[in-house]
Protein backbone atom coordinates (compact mmCIF):
# COMPACT_ATOMS: atom_id res chain seq x y z
CA UNK A 1 0.00 0.00 0.00
CA UNK A 2 1.26 3.46 -0.85
CA UNK A 3 1.75 5.78 2.11
CA UNK A 4 -0.24 8.53 0.40
CA UNK A 5 -3.38 6.40 0.40
CA UNK A 6 -3.66 6.57 4.18
CA UNK A 7 -3.03 10.24 4.57
CA UNK A 8 -5.88 12.16 6.19
CA UNK A 9 -3.95 15.26 7.13
CA UNK A 10 -5.25 18.72 6.36
CA UNK A 11 -3.55 20.82 3.67
CA UNK A 12 -0.20 22.21 4.78
CA UNK A 13 -1.32 25.83 4.55
CA UNK A 14 -4.39 25.05 6.71
CA UNK A 15 -2.19 23.39 9.33
CA UNK A 16 0.13 26.41 9.35
CA UNK A 17 -2.82 28.71 9.93
CA UNK A 18 -3.97 26.42 12.72
CA UNK A 19 -0.58 26.72 14.42
CA UNK A 20 -0.75 30.52 14.19
CA UNK A 21 -4.26 30.53 15.68
CA UNK A 22 -3.27 28.16 18.50
CA UNK A 23 -0.11 30.07 19.43
CA UNK A 24 -2.08 33.34 19.32
CA UNK A 25 -4.79 31.93 21.61
CA UNK A 26 -2.48 30.47 24.24
CA UNK A 27 -0.07 33.41 23.98
CA UNK A 28 -2.86 35.87 24.76
CA UNK A 29 -4.03 33.70 27.66
CA UNK A 30 -0.46 33.55 28.94
CA UNK A 31 -0.08 37.33 29.14
CA UNK A 32 -3.49 37.96 30.72
CA UNK A 33 -1.98 38.53 34.22
CA UNK A 34 -0.23 41.67 32.97
CA UNK A 35 -3.52 42.92 31.50
CA UNK A 36 -5.46 42.43 34.72
CA UNK A 37 -2.73 44.00 36.83
CA UNK A 38 -2.86 47.03 34.52
CA UNK A 39 -6.53 47.48 35.52
CA UNK A 40 -5.57 48.69 39.01
CA UNK A 41 -7.15 50.14 41.12
CA UNK A 42 -10.16 48.10 39.90
CA UNK A 43 -10.81 45.12 42.17
CA UNK A 44 -11.26 41.50 41.02
CA UNK A 45 -15.05 41.40 41.45
CA UNK A 46 -15.60 44.55 39.41
CA UNK A 47 -13.14 43.35 36.75
CA UNK A 48 -14.99 40.07 36.24
CA UNK A 49 -18.39 41.77 36.23
CA UNK A 50 -17.38 44.20 33.49
CA UNK A 51 -15.61 41.37 31.67
CA UNK A 52 -18.89 39.46 31.51
CA UNK A 53 -21.00 42.40 30.35
CA UNK A 54 -18.56 43.66 27.72
CA UNK A 55 -17.99 40.08 26.50
CA UNK A 56 -21.75 39.84 25.97
CA UNK A 57 -21.72 43.09 23.99
CA UNK A 58 -18.80 41.90 21.87
CA UNK A 59 -20.48 38.54 21.23
CA UNK A 60 -23.67 40.34 20.15
CA UNK A 61 -21.61 42.38 17.67
CA UNK A 62 -19.97 39.21 16.36
CA UNK A 63 -23.34 37.51 15.88
CA UNK A 64 -24.53 40.57 13.98
CA UNK A 65 -21.47 40.76 11.73
CA UNK A 66 -21.42 37.01 11.01
CA UNK A 67 -25.23 36.82 10.74
CA UNK A 68 -25.24 34.24 13.48
CA UNK A 69 -28.44 35.29 15.24
CA UNK A 70 -30.64 32.58 13.64
CA UNK A 71 -28.25 29.89 14.89
CA UNK A 72 -28.15 31.47 18.34
CA UNK A 73 -31.95 31.59 18.59
CA UNK A 74 -32.02 27.97 17.49
CA UNK A 75 -29.86 27.16 20.53
CA UNK A 76 -32.26 29.05 22.79
CA UNK A 77 -35.11 26.86 21.54
CA UNK A 78 -33.31 23.80 22.94
CA UNK A 79 -33.90 23.87 26.73
CA UNK A 80 -31.41 21.12 27.49
CA UNK A 81 -28.56 22.89 25.71
CA UNK A 82 -29.57 26.23 27.19
CA UNK A 83 -29.50 24.84 30.73
CA UNK A 84 -26.24 23.00 30.06
CA UNK A 85 -24.60 26.23 28.91
CA UNK A 86 -25.90 27.85 32.10
CA UNK A 87 -23.92 25.28 34.11
CA UNK A 88 -20.92 25.95 31.87
CA UNK A 89 -21.36 29.66 32.55
CA UNK A 90 -21.34 29.08 36.31
CA UNK A 91 -18.11 27.08 36.04
CA UNK A 92 -16.36 29.64 33.85
CA UNK A 93 -17.48 32.37 36.28
CA UNK A 94 -15.77 30.50 39.13
CA UNK A 95 -12.71 30.08 36.91
CA UNK A 96 -12.57 33.75 35.85
CA UNK A 97 -13.16 35.05 39.36
CA UNK A 98 -10.52 32.80 40.90
CA UNK A 99 -8.01 33.63 38.17
CA UNK A 100 -8.47 37.41 38.37
CA UNK A 101 -8.34 37.29 42.17
CA UNK A 102 -5.08 35.31 42.01
CA UNK A 103 -3.61 37.70 39.45
CA UNK A 104 -4.29 40.93 41.31
CA UNK A 105 -3.34 39.45 44.69
CA UNK A 106 0.16 38.31 43.66
CA UNK A 107 -0.56 34.61 43.09
CA UNK A 108 0.20 34.33 39.36
CA UNK A 109 2.55 31.36 39.89
CA UNK A 110 -0.14 29.40 41.71
CA UNK A 111 -2.62 30.27 38.95
CA UNK A 112 -0.13 28.90 36.41
CA UNK A 113 0.07 25.71 38.49
CA UNK A 114 -3.70 25.30 38.11
CA UNK A 115 -3.44 25.26 34.33
CA UNK A 116 -0.41 22.97 34.43
CA UNK A 117 -2.37 20.33 36.33
CA UNK A 118 -5.56 20.89 34.33
CA UNK A 119 -4.74 18.19 31.70
CA UNK A 120 -4.25 15.66 34.49
CA UNK A 121 -7.55 16.68 36.10
CA UNK A 122 -9.20 16.27 32.69
CA UNK A 123 -7.89 12.71 32.41
CA UNK A 124 -9.12 11.93 35.94
CA UNK A 125 -12.58 13.40 35.19
CA UNK A 126 -12.75 11.17 32.12
CA UNK A 127 -12.45 8.17 34.42
CA UNK A 128 -14.88 9.39 37.08
CA UNK A 129 -17.58 10.86 34.83
CA UNK A 130 -17.21 9.25 31.41
CA UNK A 131 -16.00 5.90 32.80
CA UNK A 132 -12.99 5.90 30.50
CA UNK A 133 -10.16 3.48 31.20
CA UNK A 134 -6.78 4.94 32.05
CA UNK A 135 -3.61 3.45 30.65
CA UNK A 136 -0.69 2.67 33.03
CA UNK A 137 1.26 5.82 32.12
CA UNK A 138 -1.84 7.93 32.73
CA UNK A 139 -2.19 6.39 36.20
CA UNK A 140 1.48 7.16 36.80
CA UNK A 141 0.96 10.81 35.76
CA UNK A 142 -2.02 11.17 38.09
CA UNK A 143 -0.06 9.60 40.96
CA UNK A 144 2.92 11.92 40.46
CA UNK A 145 0.62 14.94 40.27
CA UNK A 146 -1.05 13.97 43.57
CA UNK A 147 2.40 13.77 45.19
CA UNK A 148 3.18 17.19 43.70
CA UNK A 149 0.04 18.71 45.25
CA UNK A 150 1.00 17.24 48.64
CA UNK A 151 4.54 18.68 48.33
CA UNK A 152 3.16 22.07 47.35
CA UNK A 153 0.61 21.97 50.19
CA UNK A 154 3.43 21.40 52.67
CA UNK A 155 5.43 24.21 51.07
CA UNK A 156 2.50 26.64 51.11
CA UNK A 157 1.41 25.60 54.60
CA UNK A 158 -2.07 24.92 53.16
CA UNK A 159 -3.66 23.42 50.07
CA UNK A 160 -2.97 25.42 46.88
CA UNK A 161 -6.70 26.13 46.64
CA UNK A 162 -6.32 28.68 43.83
CA UNK A 163 -4.60 26.11 41.59
CA UNK A 164 -7.09 23.36 42.50
CA UNK A 165 -10.12 25.65 41.95
CA UNK A 166 -8.80 26.71 38.54
CA UNK A 167 -7.98 23.16 37.45
CA UNK A 168 -11.28 21.67 38.63
CA UNK A 169 -13.51 24.47 37.31
CA UNK A 170 -11.85 24.52 33.88
CA UNK A 171 -11.71 20.72 33.76
CA UNK A 172 -15.46 20.47 34.44
CA UNK A 173 -16.08 23.31 31.97
CA UNK A 174 -14.17 21.40 29.30
CA UNK A 175 -16.14 18.25 30.12
CA UNK A 176 -19.43 20.08 29.54
CA UNK A 177 -18.17 21.59 26.29
CA UNK A 178 -17.16 18.09 25.18
CA UNK A 179 -20.65 16.78 25.93
CA UNK A 180 -22.40 19.45 23.86
CA UNK A 181 -19.80 18.94 21.12
CA UNK A 182 -20.36 20.38 17.67
CA UNK A 183 -23.96 21.32 18.44
CA UNK A 184 -22.76 24.61 19.98
CA UNK A 185 -20.35 26.85 18.08
CA UNK A 186 -17.76 29.01 19.86
CA UNK A 187 -19.54 32.36 19.53
CA UNK A 188 -23.01 30.99 20.26
CA UNK A 189 -21.75 29.08 23.29
CA UNK A 190 -19.89 32.04 24.75
CA UNK A 191 -22.93 34.27 24.14
CA UNK A 192 -25.21 31.84 25.98
CA UNK A 193 -22.78 31.51 28.88
CA UNK A 194 -22.35 35.27 29.31
CA UNK A 195 -26.10 35.82 28.89
CA UNK A 196 -26.68 33.55 31.87
CA UNK A 197 -24.03 35.44 33.84
CA UNK A 198 -25.19 38.96 32.92
CA UNK A 199 -27.68 39.22 35.86
CA UNK A 200 -24.94 38.02 38.24
CA UNK A 201 -22.58 40.65 36.86
CA UNK A 202 -25.22 43.36 37.28
CA UNK A 203 -25.75 42.37 40.93
CA UNK A 204 -21.98 42.36 41.57
CA UNK A 205 -21.63 45.84 40.06
CA UNK A 206 -24.51 47.10 42.21
CA UNK A 207 -22.94 45.63 45.37
CA UNK A 208 -19.47 46.99 44.56
CA UNK A 209 -20.98 50.39 43.77
CA UNK A 210 -22.84 50.45 47.10
CA UNK A 211 -19.84 49.34 49.18
CA UNK A 212 -16.31 50.10 47.98
CA UNK A 213 -17.41 52.15 44.97
CA UNK A 214 -16.93 51.54 41.25
CA UNK A 215 -13.73 52.56 39.50
CA UNK A 216 -15.20 52.45 35.99
CA UNK A 217 -15.50 56.05 34.85
CA UNK A 218 -13.74 57.31 38.00
CA UNK A 219 -10.16 56.02 37.52
CA UNK A 220 -9.29 57.79 34.29
CA UNK A 221 -9.87 57.14 30.61
CA UNK A 222 -7.14 54.46 30.18
CA UNK A 223 -8.70 52.37 32.95
CA UNK A 224 -12.16 52.68 31.42
CA UNK A 225 -10.91 51.73 27.94
CA UNK A 226 -9.06 48.70 29.31
CA UNK A 227 -12.20 47.53 31.11
CA UNK A 228 -14.26 47.91 27.94
CA UNK A 229 -11.60 45.99 26.00
CA UNK A 230 -11.92 43.09 28.48
CA UNK A 231 -14.77 41.79 26.35
CA UNK A 232 -12.53 41.58 23.30
CA UNK A 233 -9.64 40.14 25.33
CA UNK A 234 -12.01 37.41 26.55
CA UNK A 235 -13.62 36.49 23.25
CA UNK A 236 -10.73 36.73 20.76
CA UNK A 237 -8.55 33.93 22.26
CA UNK A 238 -11.61 31.66 22.40
CA UNK A 239 -12.27 32.29 18.71
CA UNK A 240 -8.60 31.64 17.87
CA UNK A 241 -8.80 28.43 19.90
CA UNK A 242 -11.92 27.29 18.02
CA UNK A 243 -10.25 28.02 14.67
CA UNK A 244 -7.09 26.15 15.71
CA UNK A 245 -8.93 23.10 17.03
CA UNK A 246 -10.61 22.63 13.63
CA UNK A 247 -7.25 22.65 11.82
CA UNK A 248 -4.85 20.82 14.14
CA UNK A 249 -4.64 17.25 15.46
CA UNK A 250 -5.50 16.82 19.13
CA UNK A 251 -1.91 15.85 19.99
CA UNK A 252 -0.60 19.17 18.61
CA UNK A 253 -3.20 21.11 20.59
CA UNK A 254 -2.13 19.08 23.63
CA UNK A 255 1.44 20.33 23.29
CA UNK A 256 0.54 23.96 22.63
CA UNK A 257 -1.83 24.18 25.61
CA UNK A 258 1.23 24.32 27.87
CA UNK A 259 2.22 27.67 26.34
CA UNK A 260 -0.25 29.62 28.49
CA UNK A 261 0.73 28.35 31.96
CA UNK A 262 4.41 28.45 31.02
CA UNK A 263 4.13 32.12 30.03
CA UNK A 264 2.11 32.82 33.19
CA UNK A 265 4.79 31.10 35.26
CA UNK A 266 7.50 33.27 33.67
CA UNK A 267 5.42 36.40 34.24
CA UNK A 268 5.02 35.52 37.92
CA UNK A 269 8.67 34.62 38.54
CA UNK A 270 10.61 36.91 36.17
CA UNK A 271 8.42 40.01 35.90
CA UNK A 272 6.45 40.05 39.16
CA UNK A 273 9.23 38.42 41.24
CA UNK A 274 6.93 36.09 43.15
CA UNK A 275 8.60 33.88 45.73
CA UNK A 276 9.81 30.45 44.60
CA UNK A 277 11.30 28.62 47.62
CA UNK A 278 12.94 25.20 47.02
CA UNK A 279 9.87 23.18 47.97
CA UNK A 280 7.78 25.06 45.41
CA UNK A 281 10.38 24.40 42.70
CA UNK A 282 10.32 20.71 43.68
CA UNK A 283 6.51 20.62 43.52
CA UNK A 284 6.49 22.26 40.08
CA UNK A 285 9.20 19.84 38.92
CA UNK A 286 6.93 16.94 39.90
CA UNK A 287 4.02 18.51 38.00
CA UNK A 288 6.21 18.92 34.91
CA UNK A 289 7.32 15.28 35.28
CA UNK A 290 3.68 14.20 35.37
CA UNK A 291 2.98 16.25 32.24
CA UNK A 292 6.00 14.67 30.51
CA UNK A 293 4.67 11.19 31.35
CA UNK A 294 1.21 12.18 30.07
CA UNK A 295 2.73 13.54 26.86
CA UNK A 296 4.73 10.36 26.23
CA UNK A 297 1.55 8.33 26.69
CA UNK A 298 -0.30 10.62 24.28
CA UNK A 299 2.40 10.21 21.61
CA UNK A 300 2.54 6.42 22.03
CA UNK A 301 -1.23 6.07 21.86
CA UNK A 302 -1.43 8.35 18.81
CA UNK A 303 1.20 6.27 16.96
CA UNK A 304 -0.55 3.02 17.90
CA UNK A 305 -3.86 4.38 16.60
CA UNK A 306 -2.27 5.43 13.30
CA UNK A 307 -0.65 1.99 12.88
CA UNK A 308 -4.02 0.34 13.54
CA UNK A 309 -5.66 2.49 10.87
CA UNK A 310 -2.92 1.63 8.34
CA UNK A 311 -3.15 -2.10 9.08
CA UNK A 312 -6.95 -2.19 8.66
CA UNK A 313 -6.98 0.02 5.56
Are 153 and 107 in contact, with CB atoms under 8 Å apart?
Answer: no
State the pLDDT at residue 170. 86
| C-alpha dihedral, 250 to 256 to 261 to 266, nearest 10° | 170
State the pLDDT at residue 42. 93
> Is 145 domain-assigned?
yes
Q: List the single range of 19-23, 176-180, 233-237, 253-257 with lowest mean pLDDT.
A: 253-257
> Is 267 domain-assigned?
yes
* 101-159 pLDDT tens trace: 999 999 999 998 888 888 778 777 877 777 777 788 878 887 888 888 888 887 777 78
- How sure is the predictor about 250, in pLDDT bands with cuts at 50, 70 and 90? low
State the pLDDT at residue 13. 60
CB atoms within 10 A of CB 24: 17
> Is 31 domain-assigned?
yes
> Is 17 domain-assigned?
yes
State the pLDDT at residue 308. 58
- How sure is the predictor about 188, in pLDDT bands with cuts at 50, 70 and 90? confident
Give backbone dihedrals phi and psi of 2, rounded to 5 degrees, phi first.
-75, 140
- How sure is the predictor about 48, in pLDDT bands with cuts at 50, 70 and 90? very high
- How sure is the predictor about 46, in pLDDT bands with cuts at 50, 70 and 90? very high
Average model confidence (pLDDT) for the chain?
Answer: 84
State the pLDDT at residue 78. 92
> Is 1 domain-assigned?
no
Indicate if the pLDDT at residue 66 is higher than 60: yes
> Is 118 domain-assigned?
yes
Domain that holds residue 197: 12-312
> Is 135 domain-assigned?
yes
Number of domain units in the chain: 1
SS3 track for the chain: CCHHHHCCCCCHHHHHHHHHHHHHHHHHHHCHHHHHHCCCCCCHHHHHHHHHHHHHHHHHHHHHHCCCHHHHHHHHCCHHHHHHHHHHHHHHHHHHHHHHHHHHCCCHHHHHHHHHHHHHHHHHHHHHCCCCCCCHHHHHHHHHHHHHHHHHHHHHCCCCHHHHHHHHHHHHHHHHHHHHHHHCCHHHHHHHHHHHHHHHHHHHHHHHHHCCCCCCCCCCHHHHHHHHHHHHHHHHHHHHHHHHHHHCCHHHHHHHCCHHHHHHHHHHHHHCCCCCCHHHHHHHHHHHHHHHHHHHHHHHHHHHHHHHHHHHC
Instruction: Report the pLDDT averaged over residues 289-302.
Output: 78
> Is 3 domain-assigned?
no
Report the distance separating Cα 258 and Cα 290, nearest Å. 13
Report the distance separating Cα 84 and Cα 179, nearest Å. 9
- How sure is the predictor about 2, in pLDDT bands with cuts at 50, 70 and 90? very low
Amino acid sequence: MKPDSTRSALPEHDTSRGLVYAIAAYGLWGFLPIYFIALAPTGPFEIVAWRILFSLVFCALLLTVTRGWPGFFALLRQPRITLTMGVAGALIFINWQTYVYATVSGQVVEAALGYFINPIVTVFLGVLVLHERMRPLQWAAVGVSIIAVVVLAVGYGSLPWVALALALSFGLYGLIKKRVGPRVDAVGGLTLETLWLAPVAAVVIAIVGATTGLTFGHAGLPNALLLVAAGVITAVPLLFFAAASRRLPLIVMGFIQYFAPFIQFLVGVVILHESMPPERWFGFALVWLALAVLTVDLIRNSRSSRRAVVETA
